């Protein structure tokens, strides 16, 4: 797992969080389909490449989840929205998974 894995996870995470924000702010789901379908297709390709670059689906899942949750937390902190306890708990579990992953090597 190299730098390429982190870059792919970051790009896929940025796409996932930007789509999530667009879904929340759009008046209807149909109004953003022109943008959402190509972005979801490219994000799926990045996830496919991430699985192959990281060596397995579990490592790719942990890396993508960590990236996505970090971006969600950053967006909520910048926009001064309330951060739920479940978001903090899931972030803590992903950080714990990263620690366990690297302590075993």
Domain boundary assignment for the chain: 3-103
pTM of the shown model: 0.80
pLDDT for position 38 = 93
| Axis-axis angle for helices 57-78, 33-54 (nearest 10) | 130
Residue 72, both tokens: 């969600």
pLDDT for position 58 = 84
**pLDDT tens digits for range 1-26:** 567 888 999 999 999 999 888 888 88
pLDDT for position 60 = 87
Rg, C-alpha atoms of the chain: 15
**pLDDT tens digits for range 34-93:** 889 999 999 999 999 999 988 888 888 888 888 898 888 888 888 777 888 888 898 888
Say if residues 13 and 71 touch (Cβ distance below 8 Å): yes
Distance CA 57, CA 46 (A): 13
pLDDT for position 39 = 93
Say if residues 8 and 50 touch (Cβ distance below 8 Å): yes
Distance CA 67, CA 10 (A): 6
């Amino acid at each position: 797992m190299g730098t390429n894995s982190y870059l792919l996870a970051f790009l896929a995470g940025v796409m996932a969080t930007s789509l999530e924000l667009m879904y929340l702010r759009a008046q209807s789901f149909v109004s953003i389909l022109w943008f959402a379908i190509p972005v979801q297709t490219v994000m799926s390709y990045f996830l496919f490449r991430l699985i192959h670059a990281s060596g397995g689906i579990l490592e790719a899942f942990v890396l993508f989840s960590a990236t996505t949750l970090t971006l969600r937390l950053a967006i909520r902190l910048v926009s001064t929205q309330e951060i739920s306890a479940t978001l903090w708990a899931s972030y803590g579990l992903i950080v714990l998974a990263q620690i366990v992953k690297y302590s075993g090597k």
